[in-house]
Amino acid sequence: MLLLAMDTATPAVTVALHDGDSVVAASSQVDARRHGELLLPAVDRVLKEAGLALDAVTGLVVGVGPGPYTGLRVGLATAAAFSSALGVPVHGLCTLDGLAYASGIEGPFAVATDARRKEVYWARYADARTRETDAAVDRPADIAERLAGLPVVGAGARLYPEAFPDARDPEHQSAAALAALAAERLAAGGEGFLEPLPMYLRRPDAQVPKNYKVVTPK
């Protein structure tokens, strides 16, 4: 087994290789505006670090979000392209699940990432492997009471300390954690994966104007 994992649903452009037992190589850069520019060089970097070629990959893992429209599509489109070229499967995972797994927290907690517009993407967990709620998008003040007393993992907790006073690491997503979670699920029978399709939760910021003037040649 050699899994190539990637996630661009958050400001972290993160890639990792996992051989089924451990992470072979990993790369993470935090830059919310350069997902498309950074992802392929990161893939090349981890392959070179591992001394492997792309055709050695037997499966792909990709974070499906939730995340902003543009950045999220970069990872999903790249995973789909690699899958088509290599003839290997793509395993989708909720981005929040990767952060939860990396936290290692054993009791109840939540994960919150930055959704912009003064909102967070979030979900509640029973432990690092078990999500109790669907991913959602809300204003921090609107969910503060529901998450009162719980640790909250992720950048969303650090952005809104008044709503989430017990912020925990990790702050950013890690493809290494995503790959390790996928390897664990594959070893257990391959259940718990999502279709590699974007989990947006809301409409994109960019909209086609409703009443724009059409100019056609005479």
In tens, the pLDDT along 185-212 reads 999 999 999 999 999 997 555 455 566 5
For the segment 125-133, the average pLDDT, to the nearest whole number, is: 97
Looking only at the bridges linking them, the beta strands covering 119-127 and 23-30 are unpaired
pLDDT higher at 69 or 139: 139
pLDDT at 96 over 60: yes
pTM strictly above 0.85: yes
pLDDT attached to residue 202: 74
CB 24 within 8 A of CB 50: yes
The confidence score (pLDDT) of residue 134 equals 97
Residue 158 pLDDT > 90, yes or no?
Answer: yes
- Rounded CA-CA distance 109/114 in Å is 17
Q: Count CB-CB contacts under 10 A for residue 163.
A: 20
Query: What would the pLDDT profile of 141-157 be if each residue is shown by its tens digit?
Result: 999 999 999 999 999 99
pLDDT at 48: 98
Looking at 105-204, list the stretches that DSSP marks H as alpha helix, in order from N- to C-terminal side.
140-143, 155-159, 175-187
- For 17, phi and psi rounded to 5 degrees? -115, 135
Beta-sheet pairing, 152-153 with 167-168: parallel
Eight-class DSSP state of 67: -
Provide the pLDDT for residue 21: 96
- Tell me whether strands 59-63 and 90-93 are parallel, antiparallel or unpaired: parallel
How do residues 2-36 score in pLDDT, each as one tens digit?
999 999 999 999 999 999 999 999 999 999 999 99
Confidence category of residue 70, pLDDT binned at 50, 70, 90: confident
